Amino acid sequence: MSENTTTTSGKERIVLAYSGGLDTSVAIGWIGERTGAEVIAVAVDVGQGGEDLEVIRQRALDCGAVEAYVADAREEFATEYCMPALKANAMYMDAYPLVSALSRPVIVKHLVRAARQFGATTVAHGCTGKGNDQVRFEVGITSLAPDLKCLAPVRDLALTRDVAIEYAETHKLPIETTKHNPFSIDQNVWGRAIETGFLEDIWNEPTKDVYSYTDDPTYPPLPDEVVITFKEGVPVAIDGHAVTPLQAIQEMNRRAGAQGIGRIDIVEDRLVGIKSREVYEAPGAMALLAAHKELENVTVEREQARFKRGVGQRWTELVYDGQWFSPLKHSLDVFIDDTQRYVSGDIRMVLHGGRATVTGRRSEQSLYDFNLATYDTGDAFDQSHSKGFIEIYGMTSKLAAARDVSFGNGVDLSAPANLSA
């Protein structure tokens, strides 16, 4: 990337989140014409696949950007964003593993970094005024750099899809244009999000062409057994082979995806108040989440685990709502990390036909005591203690029930039981 930090033209500079696609390629010139500013294109690779970063960088320059900043953030995204989500067991509405929401703060960080490097006063993004991402980008940007302004060409400068196609054709931009693109797709190493088109009718079933990360679970290959090793809540080995967080996600994407695991189809509550039909594919994420949850069942103390479920849900909502850099999110991170101190060990899973099924667990930090749990000879649990425990445990309810009876508010047991012959 260039090290230039000043503008010799005297013009204002705007940093644009650049994907390399039609809309953001057109936005480079569109922003320049309507604001008089120079545009810095910023492309961040979070594992979305597709074109080489250098190709994207050159396209940005060919479309009129005065500078182009490109970053390979795949390892950073996997380690610093996906792993905290795994530790939190983050599932929005108990179904969605925050595929898009997790990628926005790492992109935001690079946008702000580029703005500082190149002397920009504004950061632009390609979001519409209806979705969650406009909030995630702008709240994230102003949380890191309160002095920066935000601009959304689609929302603020009337850059609609048909206008973008016409502009690209008129200016002969080096980008493919098409009026027929049925889906809006966002993807990264943690998963893939698909919306719009015929999916907006929530009665319509997704067709086979919707999916890319997963094969049809109706006709799976033979069952695939995998052993995932965790250390303090993070996968560190698969089948005994050491892996980085990125490698763990990629390997599980491949193996769980081949079994059709991780297909999600939900009507989701957006932050802006709209209900939206969303289809996701997250094979690696869903398999790793299932393994991590089960290892927590073995290693996390009961009351801590109960409280963590509420913390994890709140953490998930904050991230979904674009509050990655908020004080509360930071405080919850500290608690969640503390709960992972003993979440180490192995989980054996069978991947098959759309399901990731845990079949074995082992951990040196396990709270499972065979001698306490067994009903066979060798049982170390003194069952004589239970009678007194139940008496004390139920005392408050017993006293309250007695009061209800004395005031005529007890449960009505006069109605005959409905017994069948």
Residue 184 assigned as binding residue: yes
Catalytic site residue from 13, 23, 276, 277: 23
Q: From 70, 48, 47, 49, select the one nearest 58 (Cα to Cα).
A: 70
Total residue count of the chain as it appears in this document? 421
Catalytic site residue from 45, 133, 215, 321: 133
Catalytic site residue from 184, 212, 331, 386: 184
Residue 81 assigned as binding residue: no
Residue 219 assigned as binding residue: no
Query: Crossing angle, helix 302-320 and helix 283-299, to 10 degrees?
Result: 150
DSSP state of 360: E
Residue 414 assigned as binding residue: no
Q: Which residues of 247-282 are buried (b: 16+ CB within 10 A; e: fewer)?
A: bbbbbbbebbbbbbbbbbebebeebeeeebbbbbbb
Catalytic site residue from 74, 104, 192, 277: 104
Under DSSP, is residue 349 helix (H, G, I), strand (E, B) or coil?
Answer: strand
Residue 212 assigned as binding residue: no
Residue 9 assigned as binding residue: no
C-alpha triplet 371, 376, 382: angle, nearest 5° = 55
Catalytic status, residue 184: yes
Contact 189, 74 (CB under 8 A): yes
Sheet holding 149-151, edge to edge: 67-72, 38-45, 13-17, 122-124, 149-151
Residue 19 assigned as binding residue: yes
**DSSP assignment of 154-217:** HHHS---HHHHHHHHHHTT-SS---S----EEEEETTEEEEESGGGGSTTSPPPGGG-SSS--T
Catalytic status, residue 133: yes
Residue 132 assigned as binding residue: yes
Pairwise CA distance, residues 278 & 267, whole Å: 6
Residue 181 assigned as binding residue: no
Pairwise CA distance, residues 344 & 341, whole Å: 8
Phi, psi torsion values for 57, nearest 5 degrees: -60, -45
Please list the residues that pair with 350 across neighbouring strands: 225, 357
Residue 342 assigned as binding residue: no
Residue 375 assigned as binding residue: no
Contact 133, 104 (CB under 8 A): yes
Residue 17 assigned as binding residue: yes
Residue 170 assigned as binding residue: no
Q: From 328, 326, 322, 329, select the one nearest 132 (Cα to Cα).
A: 322
Residue 22 assigned as binding residue: yes
Residue 20 assigned as binding residue: yes
Residue 133 assigned as binding residue: yes
Name the helix (H) or strand (E) containing 60.
helix 53-62
Residue 29 assigned as binding residue: no
Name the helix (H) or strand (E) containing 279.
strand 275-281
Residue 128 assigned as binding residue: yes
Catalytic status, residue 100: no
- Catalytic positions, please? 23, 104, 133, 184
Q: Which residues are annotated as a binding site for ATP?
A: 17-25, 126
Mark the binding-site residues, compressed into ranges.
17-25, 96, 126, 128, 132-133, 136, 184, 268, 280
Residue stretches of the annotated binding site for L-aspartate = 128, 132-133
Q: Specify binding-site residues for L-citrulline.
A: 96, 132, 136, 184, 268, 280
